Amino acid sequence: MASVAPTVEFDLDQISLRELNQFLHHDLGSGDHVEITHPNGRHSIAVGIDADVDVQIRGHAGYYVAAMNKRAHVTVHGNVGWGVAENIMSGVVRVKGNASASAASSGRGGLVIIEGDAASRCGISMKGCDIVVGGNVGHVSGFMGQLGRLVVCGDAGAGLGDSLYEAVIYVRGQIASLGADAREEPLSKSDISALVELLDQAGFAHEPSEFKRIASSRTLYHWNAAHLGSYG
Amino acid sequence: MCGIVGLLVKRAELRVRLGEWATPMFVCMADRGLDSGGMAVFGSAQAGTRRMSLFVGDRQYDWQRFLESFRRAFSTDSAEILGVENHGILITSVAPPRVKTWLAEFDSALLVLSVGRSMDIFKDQGTAREISRRYRFAELTGTHCVGHTRMATESAVTPAHSHPFTAGEDFCLVHNGSLSNPYMLCRMLEKQGVHFDTDNDTEAACRFIEWRLREGDSLNLAIERAFEELDGFYTLLMATTDAMTLVRDAFACKPAVVAETDDYVAVSSEFRSMAHLPGVAEAKIFEPQPETIYSWRV
pLDDT tens-digit series, residues A119-142: 999 999 999 999 999 999 999 999
Percent of chain B with pLDDT over 70: 100
Asked if A78 and A100 count as a contact pair (C-beta separation under 8 A), the reply is no
Distances (CA, A) of A137 to A124, A141, A152, A183, B5: 12, 7, 7, 17, 26
Reported as a single tens digit per residue, the pLDDT across B268-296 is 999 999 999 999 999 999 999 999 999 99
- DSSP letter, residue B140: -
Task: Tell me: pLDDT of A5 over 80.
Answer: no
Task: Tell me: pLDDT of A4 over 60.
Answer: no
Confidence of residue A232 (pLDDT cuts 50, 70, 90): low
B257 touches chain A (CB under 8 A): yes
Task: Tell me: pLDDT of A11 over 80.
Answer: yes
Pairing assessment for the beta strands B232-240 and B171-179 based on DSSP bridges? antiparallel
Write phi, then psi, for B158 (nearest 5 degrees).
-140, 165
Can you give the pLDDT at residue A221?
A: 80
CA angle at residue B277 from B259 to B33, to 5 degrees?
80
Looking at B157-231, which runs of residues are DSSP E strands?
Answer: 165-166, 171-179
Cβ A62–B286 below 8 Å, yes or no? no
Can you give the pLDDT at residue A6?
A: 79
Confidence of residue B23 (pLDDT cuts 50, 70, 90): very high
Reported as a single tens digit per residue, the pLDDT across B118-174 is 999 999 999 999 999 999 999 999 999 999 999 999 899 999 999 999 999 999 999
Domain extent at residue A168: 40-230
Domain count, chain B: 2
Which chain B residues touch A120 with a CB distance below 8 Å? 251-252, 290
Strand partners, B179: B232
Compute the distance between CA of residue B119 and CA of residue B98 in angstroms, rounded to an integer: 19
Can you give the pLDDT at residue A231?
A: 66
Cβ B275–A82 below 8 Å, yes or no? no
Q: Which of B72, B95, B117 is the last residue of a domain?
A: B117
Residue B72 CB contacts under 8 Å (≥ 6 apart), including other chains:
none
Compute the distance between CA of residue A28 and CA of residue A71 in angstroms, rounded to an integer: 13
Compute the distance between CA of residue A182 and CA of residue B171 in angstroms, rounded to an integer: 44
Can you give the pLDDT at residue A112?
A: 98
Predicted complex ipTM: 0.91
Residue A12: inside a domain: no
Cα Rg, chain A, nearest whole Å: 18
Cβ B252–A139 below 8 Å, yes or no? yes
Angle between helices B219-229 and B201-214 (to 10 degrees): 140
Which chain B residues touch A101 with a CB distance below 8 Å? 252, 255
Decide if B206 is catalytic.
no
Distances (CA, A) of A112 to A81, A140, B90, B200, B268: 14, 18, 56, 42, 26
Q: Are residues B137 and B9 in the same domain?
A: yes
Average pLDDT over residues B5-22: 98
Which chain A residues touch B32 with a CB distance below 8 Å? none
Asked if B56 and B181 count as a contact pair (C-beta separation under 8 A), the reply is no
Cβ B272–A82 below 8 Å, yes or no? no
Domain extent at residue B214: 2-44+125-297
Amino acid present at B4:
I
Question: Within A93-221, where are the H helices?
Answer: 189-202
Q: Supply the CATH number for residue B59's domain.
A: 3.30.70
Confidence of residue A2 (pLDDT cuts 50, 70, 90): very low
Can you give the pLDDT at residue A55?
A: 98
Average pLDDT over residues A85-112: 98
Which chain A residues touch B252 with a CB distance below 8 Å? 101, 119-120, 138-139
Can you give the pLDDT at residue B74?
A: 97
Q: Supply the CATH number for residue A118's domain.
A: 2.160.20.60
Q: Are residues B173 and B111 in the same domain?
A: no
Of B60, B1, B10, B73, which is closest to residue B34 (Cα–Cα)? B1
Residue A32: inside a domain: no
Q: Which of A59, A62, A120 sits opposite B252 (nearest CB)?
A: A120
Per the rule left: phi > 0, alpha: psi between -120 and 50, beta: everything else, A85 is left
CA distance A154 to chain B (A): 16
Compute the distance between CA of residue A48 and CA of residue A70 in angstroms, rounded to an integer: 7
Other C-beta atoms lying within 10 Å of the C-beta of residue A85: 35
Residue A181: inside a domain: yes
CA distance B176 to chain A (A): 16
CA distance A97 to chain B (A): 10
Q: Which of B81, B100, B117 is the last residue of a domain?
A: B117
Reported as a single tens digit per residue, the pLDDT across A170-206 is 999 999 999 999 999 999 999 999 999 999 999 999 9
Can you give the pLDDT at residue A176?
A: 97
CA distance A137 to chain B (A): 11
Task: Tell me: pLDDT of A65 over 80.
Answer: yes
Can you give the pLDDT at residue B247?
A: 98
B292 touches chain A (CB under 8 A): no
Which chain A residues touch B273 with a CB distance below 8 Å? 41
Asked if B239 and B146 count as a contact pair (C-beta separation under 8 A), the reply is yes
B279 touches chain A (CB under 8 A): no
Q: Are residues B183 and B277 in the same domain?
A: yes
